[in-house]
Amino acid sequence: MTDLFRHISLHGYDKLVDSGLLSYERSRLDPANRSVEYFEKSILHFMGLYFQYERSDDFDAYGEFQKFLDHYATDNNETFYNILGVMKMLTPSCENLIINCMLGTKPIECFSKNAFQTQLTMYGPCCTFNANNVYSKRSYSTRYAGSNMGLIVILNTSQSDDTGSLLNMDGYAVLVHAPNKFPDTSSGGILEVFPSTNEESYLAVRARVTDSDPDLRTFTASHRKCYFDNESPYPQVLVNNRYSMQNCITSCRAKSVMALCNCIPFYMPLALIEGAKGIPFCTLSNIECIQQYRFKWRNVLTHRVEIMGLEREHEEALFCPACLPSCDDIRYSISMMSLPVDQFSFLGGVSSAPQLKDSNTQISVLRVFFGDTTAQFYRRVLTNAWSKAFCTVGNIVSICMGFSLVAILEMLYFVLKNLFASLKTYVKKSTSRSKWRRVSRLSTANSKQLLICP
């Protein structure tokens, strides 16, 4: 099995929760004494801060509610409205979502630094497993291949506190990605599945490893069309000293949002964004701008090729030419199978969990494991260097004709030697022939002057 463990993010039900208390607090601060129901409806506007596929045109209501929040819901020590804190409050907490965890047939503490932690993803705060990549090195016996040896998570999938759904679905989202990549599916390299509630889902992960010969460093990144880990067009996109194309595209998209809307989405990692200091998070007043450029930010080009009929798409898409693939990369593929969950068999071991106090609690089970004990390995090698090409030609000639470099020199020696001898003989003969012709002409001239007298 590959020595790199999967990095999993769980987003519970893609919903907003706990809005009742927040609505009551906002209603109490309202000088117009509007009802709690008005604020419960207005809180649903926060879903427009995500890059949703549905479009809303109620921008006046967004702006009005945001003005109220800026005036009456901002603390004295805050320069801007704390949209990140509010979204964390409205998102299901990991403690309420996750009931029990097992790894390699052994129970583990779910909320430790080696297990689940809350981190930002494209869906906002999510429960992230192996955030610190502590499972990158392990023995053969703990490589977690097989459905019983992998990660088993028992989830609380009750919907009694649902307020709004981001994806209009009855389930939860699972993102599988490398530890150094920000989980955003629109940046590529991130896998996403949507298991349903009240089911036991088997998620088999398979890895494909790509490695590159260090000799490729002799070429520039533009020629080899990839970056090594210590190379990057933007130094801030290096996570744990590793480059990834996904982080580069995320940084490029965030810069475009900053330039066009003068804000940053609250779920974006600020460490990957250059010049983010002092830029506020996007609020409800920025939703109109976000929806205006939504197509641009969801369609990314790293290289432009003129194709008939796609001229407009080329101009409207986000262009990030500096974001090249990684020379050393790991790609995952996943397959999922689901079965009805056996409530009694799993509830028996976790009956004392605080999440099960509600009699209407429903559970789901997620199994994440490696589907194979091995991984496909690909290696990029340098095949067109002049020295290797010369050796290849020499080897072919040697096999076919028995030539070698010494034989070629000997052949040149004998050819030049015979050529020089032939040239010397030719010059000698030419000199003798010229001398005979001069003597012959002299003899002819003297014979004409001979006189015989009586």
Cα separation, 45 vs 70, in Å, equals: 15
Give DSSP secondary structure letters for 61-108.
HHHHHHHHHHHHSS-TT-SS--HHHHHHHHSPPHHHHEEEEEETTEE-
Cα separation, 366 vs 200, in Å, equals: 6
Q: Backbone phi, then psi, for 287, in 5-degree steps?
A: -65, -35
Contact 341, 155 (CB under 8 A): no
Read off the amino acid at residue 2: T
- What pLDDT is attached to residue 117? 87
Give residue limits of the domains in the chain: 7-380, 387-411
pLDDT tier, 374 (very low <50, low <70, confident <90, very high otherwise): confident
- What pLDDT is attached to residue 51? 62
Sheet strands (E) in 194-282: 199-212
Is 333 a residue whose pLDDT tops 70? yes
Is 406 a residue whose pLDDT tops 50? yes
Q: What is the mean pLDDT of residues 282-286?
A: 88
pLDDT tier, 139 (very low <50, low <70, confident <90, very high otherwise): low
- What pLDDT is attached to residue 359? 53
Is 48 a residue whose pLDDT tops 70? yes
pLDDT tier, 428 (very low <50, low <70, confident <90, very high otherwise): confident
Is 290 a residue whose pLDDT tops 70? yes
Identify the weakest region by mean pLDDT among 35-49, 103-117, 212-226, 273-287: 35-49
- What pLDDT is attached to residue 260? 92
More confident residue, 173 or 355: 173
Question: By C-alpha distance, which of 256, 262, 246, 251 is closest to 296?
Answer: 256
Q: What is the mean pLDDT of residues 299-321?
A: 83
% of residues, the chain, pLDDT over 70: 77
Q: What is the mean pLDDT of residues 284-297?
A: 87
More confident residue, 6 or 205: 205
- What pLDDT is attached to residue 13? 39
The first and second tokens of residue 137, run together, are: 């090195």
Is 35 a residue whose pLDDT tops 80? no
Average pLDDT, the chain: 78
- What pLDDT is attached to residue 202? 92
% of residues, the chain, pLDDT over 90: 3
The first and second tokens of residue 258, run together, are: 């900053």
Identify the weakest region by mean pLDDT among 8-22, 206-220, 228-242: 8-22
Mean pLDDT comparison of 60-74, 132-146, 336-350, 392-406, highest-scoring range:
60-74
Is 315 a residue whose pLDDT tops 50? yes
What is the tally of helices (H) and strands (E) in the chain?
A: 13, 16
pLDDT tier, 444 (very low <50, low <70, confident <90, very high otherwise): low
The first and second tokens of residue 179, run together, are: 């530890």
The DSSP bridge pattern shows strands 191-193 and 173-177 to be antiparallel
Q: Compute the C-alpha angle 68/120/229, nearest 5°.
A: 140
Identify the weakest region by mean pLDDT among 50-54, 89-93, 182-186: 50-54
